[in-house]
Structure 1
Amino acid sequence: MMEPYPDIEIYLAQASHDALNAWLGDRLKAPPLSPAGKQRWRTQGQYNGHSVPILLVEKAADGYASLWFDSPHMPWHTDQEAAQEAAEVLQSEVRCSLGGWHPGADPDRFWQVLPGGKEGAIHWPDSGR
C-alpha cells in the first residue's frame, strides 16, 4: 500500500464556494468555508476519525486558487488523486505538483487535469518551453 502524502495541495481554475462546500462537506464532512483573511478561507474536515484542516487561498498562482489539505489522513494518497476527483466533481481544470520536490527536480512541472479525464504534464507558469 502506498504511503499517503503528509499534505495535499491542488490548484483550481475556478473555485465556486457553493461547489467546494458541497464537495468538502460530502467527502470530508467539512462545514462551509469561513473567511480567514484577505482572499483566504478555512474549514476543518474529518476523515476516518482524523481532523483535516483545509485552507483555500484565492488567486494564489496565475489566478488559480490553492486548496490545501494539511493532514496525512485523507481519501487520496497523492495530489494527483485529489486533482482527478476535484476536476470531475467541480467540472473545472485542476493542477497539482508532479510529486515531492527533490534536488534536480523541475519546479515548473505540474500535472493538469481537465473535466472528462484528459490529463498530462505541463510547465507552469508557461515559460515558453
Structure 2
Amino acid sequence: MQDLEIYIRDLAEGAVSGWLESHLDNLRLDDSQVSSVLKGDATFEGQRLKISLYPGAFGKRFTCLVIEGENLPWNTDLECARSAWRAMDTEIRCSPGDWKEGEPVEDEKWWRLDHRGEQQVVWN
C-alpha cells in the first residue's frame, strides 16, 4: 500500500472533492464542512483508494490530506501538492520525501507551494 500526504492551508469547503473529481472515479467524500476527521473513498484505474482529511494539523490552519491505495494518481507527495495548488490556489505543504513515522523532524525542510513559487522551508 502506498500513500500520498499533503497539508492544505485554510481549506475551503468542497475544495478537496472539487479537485479530486477530475483525477479519480467514484469519489465519495463530503468535505462541505471539515471540522473533524473525514473519511472517504474513490477508485483510480479500477483500484480502491482511501481518502482521509485531518483538520487542525500544525497549528490549526492546515488540514492534512492522506490518499492511500495500491495505485495512485501521482508518484510523489510533491506531484500531488503541485496538482492541489493549481486547483485550490492556497498554500500547500508536503514532506520532501524520505521521512518515516517516528523519525525526528526538528530541522527537516518541507516543500511550500504558494503564490511565491515552490520553496523548501522549515515548517515554523
Matches within 5 A, 1:50-69: 50-63=47-60, 64-69=62-67
Give me the TM-score of the superposition, normalised by structure 2: 0.82
Which runs of no fewer than 5 residues in structure 1 stay unpaired?
none
Give the corresponding residue for 1:122.
121
| Per-residue Cα deviation, 1:86-109 (whole angstroms, up to 9, x for no partner) | 01101111000000226xx87231
Which runs of no fewer than 5 residues in structure 2 stay unpaired?
none
Q: 1:106 to 1:113 in 2, by over 3 A?
A: farther
Contact 1:34 1:43 in 2 (8 A): no
Instruction: Report which of the two has the higher share of strand.
Output: 2
List 4+ stretches of structure 1 deviating above 4 A.
none
Give the corresponding residue for 1:113.
113
Instruction: Report which of the two has the higher share of helix.
Output: 1
Offset of residue 9 of structure 1? 0.3
Percent identity of equivalent pairs: 25
Offset of residue 26 of structure 1? 2.2
Output the amino acid matched with 1:20: V
Q: Matched residues in 1 for 2:37 and 2:104: separation?
A: 28
Does residue 1:78 correspond to 2:76, yes or no? yes
Give aligned pairs, total: 117
Give me the TM-score of the superposition, normalised by structure 1: 0.79
